[in-house]
Structure 1
């Protein structure tokens, strides 16, 4: 499905006349697309990463339908409304059906400025396992009791599924879509990407550990909860805390994006 609605012309260079905040978001979102491609988390032209544009209109930026993630730039991102229809002229189509999951979460979670969805091998493997994500490793403990699960209902084309998606995500930063894939949300594109990077890494570790066939050693629920609070910076009893970790990691990733895909800011 594609949308062709046009309500306003966008300047030919894709940047003139835009607010500084929208330009920043466009460049950060384009960087996330390139990073997802770099770390081999794509599914060709399928799956999406969306970010809310500031303002009362509830407009969002999303990838042009048909472009590989490695082709995404700040200027070719498409601005859409909550129904997935484009609100500016663009030479590219959009896929409103692909925005069904994203629109539900954006509408229900004011803090979910960015929504990132993947179909990675490890993510799909864990999404098919009855016990879901296990506390196999410290990386997984970031998501201990902080990830929702949504049962598979077929391809997400029915709007009625949106309320169940939202209920299953609840207030969590991540959602495992059974028999489908992974989803993370964030206040910024960087936060959503870092969560996805580590959620997918946790799934890789779990599938590797299970492939060995030996019985898994798992920490107790009490230790798992402690580690989750520590990793989230919520444990006030810790002697040491790292307040800069996420900001430093995102800055390093932006430098990586500039090295591997300097055109993403175009």
Structure 2
């Protein structure tokens, strides 16, 4: 019996969208072999969520291959795949603490890790950076994320923000849906890329006026909610249907 026939229509759509998200991360070259994760809450009261099978490349992830787990990391549906314990610690912490964080994305992009290692972190050098800076937090590095005790500190650092830079580690975004989480990461990643390219010129840089930055920060919730993920998402699905339609399997 197929996975599709075993789950609700709403869960299947979440599976399709999450698989699409994995494929787009692979398309942009933002994956790290099998070592980062995107998770999404399954509709329903159980607080179950979907995460990638450990050992499967992002370009291989399909709607059916995603593993459904509870907040304790137990598989709640039969799967031949395991999950990454480090990925579970980070994602379960956010899902458990934030009802609005229905999707959580964590990446180790070269540019994201580079910015995370800079003492001043992300700076207001681009329009893209303003969206991230309006709702940005930092979490200090504590080693490979295997210690459940770190969850408390990570959640406290995240607060109610939607963008996080994990020092010496990478980037994290979360939102109410998969489309907005993807767009948030797209914006954060672009801001990191732009900053590093600008800094590499060694020419004087022009930061965005503090009044503009403060104005956007004061309206953080409005800015992040109007990011427009749902507007771009149908086009992303059409692109994937042309490139690799098997993500829907």
1:221 aligns with 2:200: no
1:47 aligns with 2:30: no
Aligned residue runs from structure 1 range 1-266, under 5 A:
12-227=1-216, 233=222, 245-266=228-249
- Structure 2: tracts of 5 or more residues without a match: none
Alpha-carbon displacement from aligned partner over 1:44-82 (angstroms, at most 9, x marks no partner): 011111011122221110111110000000011110111
CA distance in 2, matches of 1:37, 1:62: 16
Structure 1 residue 253: deviation in Å?
1.2
CA distance in 1, matches of 2:237, 2:221: 22
CA distance in 1, matches of 2:85, 2:72: 7
CA distance in 2, matches of 1:226, 1:177: 25
Flag the structure with higher helix content.
2
Maintained 8 Å contact 2:132/2:184: no
**SS of alignment partner, residue 144 of structure 2:** coil
Structure 1 residue 230: deviation in Å?
7.9
Between the two proteins, the alignment pairs up a number of residues equal to: 248
CA distance in 1, matches of 2:120, 2:227: 33
**SS of alignment partner, residue 79 of structure 1:** strand
TM-score calculated relative to the size of structure 2: 0.94
Alpha-carbon displacement from aligned partner over 1:7-28 (angstroms, at most 9, x marks no partner): xxxxx32110311100110000
TM-score calculated relative to the size of structure 1: 0.88
Structure 1 residue 248: deviation in Å?
2.0
